[in-house]
Amino acid sequence: MNPLELVRADLREFAGYASARRQAQGGSVLLNANESPWAAPGDSLGLNRYPSPQPEALLAALADLYQVDAGSLLVGRGSDEAIDLLVRACCEAGRHAVLISPPTFGMYAVCARVQNAGIVRVPLRAERGFALDVEAVLEAVDDSVRMVFVCSPNNPSGGIVPIPALRRLAEGLDGRALLVVDEAYAEFAETVSAISLVREHRHVAVLRTLSKAYALAGARIGSLIADPDLIRVLRNLMAPYPLPTPSVQAALQALQPQSVALAASRVGLIRQERARLTARWRALSGVREVYASQANFLLLRVDDAEAVMRAAADRGIVLRKPDFAGVDLVSVEGGFVRISIGSPEQNDALLDVFGAGAGQERAA
Ligand X SMILES: *Cc1c(COP(=O)(O)O)cnc(C)c1O
CA distance 266 to 243: 26
Question: For residues 115 and 155, which CB has a smaller minimum distance to ligand X in the complex?
Answer: 155
Is there binding between residue 211 and ligand X (CB under 6 A)?
yes
For residue 77, the minimal CB distance to ligand X (Å) is 7
Residue among 74, 86, 151, 198 that touches ligand X (CB under 6 A): 151
Residue nearest to ligand X (CB): 78
* Cβ-based nearer residue to ligand X, 284 or 337: 337
User: 23 Cβ partners below 8 Å, 6+ apart?
Assistant: 32
Q: State whether the Cα torsion 349-186-323-247 is positive or negative.
A: positive
222 makes contact with ligand X (CB under 6 A) = yes
Distinct helix (H) and strand (E) counts, the chain: 12, 10
- Between 106 and 162, whose beta carbon lies closer to ligand X? 106
Site size for ligand X, by CB under 6 A? Answer: 12
Bridge partners of 150, per DSSP, are 181
Does residue 130 interact with ligand X by CB under 6 A?
Answer: no
Out of 80, 84, 187, 227, name the contact with ligand X by CB under 6 A.
Answer: 80
Question: x/- string (CB under 6 A) for ligand X, residues 164-183?
Answer: ------------------x-
Cα(191)–Cα(188) distance, integer angstroms: 9
The CB-of-78 to ligand X minimum distance in angstroms stands at 2
Length of the chain: 364
Q: How far is the CB of 79 from ligand X (least distance, A)?
A: 4
84 lies in the site for ligand X, by CB under 6 A: no
Among 33, 136, 217, 313, binds ligand X (CB under 6 A): 217
| Amino acid making up residue 99 | L
289 three-class SS? strand
Contact between 78 and ligand X by CB under 6 A: the answer reads yes
Residue 184 interacting with ligand X (CB under 6 A): yes
Query: Smallest distance from the beta carbon of 221 to ligand X, in angstroms?
Result: 7
Contacts of 161 (CB under 8 A, 6+ apart): 132, 150, 152, 154, 169, 181
Segment interacting with ligand X, rule: CB under 6 A, options 25-33, 74-82, 90-98, 120-128: 74-82
Q: Which stretch binds ligand X (CB under 6 A): 73-81, 127-135, 169-177, 326-334?
A: 73-81
Contact 358, 317 (CB under 8 A): no
Using CB under 6 A, which of the segments 209-217, 234-242, 265-273, 337-345 binds ligand X?
A: 209-217
Nearest-approach distance from CB 207 to ligand X, in angstroms: 6
Give 284-287 contacts, CB < 8 A, sequence gap 24+: 284/354, 284/359, 284/360, 284/361, 284/362, 285/359, 285/360, 285/361, 285/362, 285/363, 286/354, 286/358, 286/359, 286/360, 287/354, 287/359
Parallel, antiparallel or unpaired: strands 73-77 and 97-100: unpaired
Q: Where are the beta strands (DSSP E) in 176-272?
A: 178-182, 204-209, 221-225
Q: Is 155 in the site for ligand X (CB under 6 A)?
A: yes
77-85, 283-291, 298-306, 322-330 -> range binding ligand X (CB under 6 A): 77-85
Residues that bind ligand X in the complex, under the rule CB under 6 A:
78-80, 105, 151, 155, 182, 184, 209, 211, 217, 222
